[in-house]
Amino acid sequence: MRIERNVAIDNCYIRISDAPAEEARILAPHLAVDLDHDGNVVGWDVYEASENEELISFLSTALPESALVEALERSEARLAA
């Protein structure tokens, strides 16, 4: 995992994998997820990073990738219903 910050645009990218991202999904006003061809998480894009340090900490340390993917899938299922 690598955390990449761009202070000029107040963005933080938490890279989980070196696989190329093929799809980006906006999950919340300050959060997007990049997925590879198979739907695996490549990285988390946090906008307005200076105001979302707790989210950055959570995404980078609190849960294993599999739990985050499962949460994403549950959220998508609820939105589709």
26 — phi, psi (to 5°)?
A: -85, 125
More confident of the two residues 77 and 23: 23
Q: State the CATH number of the domain containing residue 75.
A: 3.30.390
pLDDT tens per residue, range 16-35: 889 999 999 998 889 999 99
Q: Are 33 and 46 in contact (CB under 8 A)?
A: no
Helix (H, G, I), strand (E, B) or coil at 50: helix
Q: What is the pTM of this model?
A: 0.74
pLDDT tens per residue, range 58-68: 888 765 565 66
Mean pLDDT along residues 58-79: 67
- For residue 2, the model assigns a pLDDT of 87
Q: How many domains does the chain have?
A: 1
| 51-56, long-range: CB < 8 A, 24+ apart | 52/12, 55/30, 55/31, 56/3, 56/12, 56/14
Domain carrying residue 42: 2-80
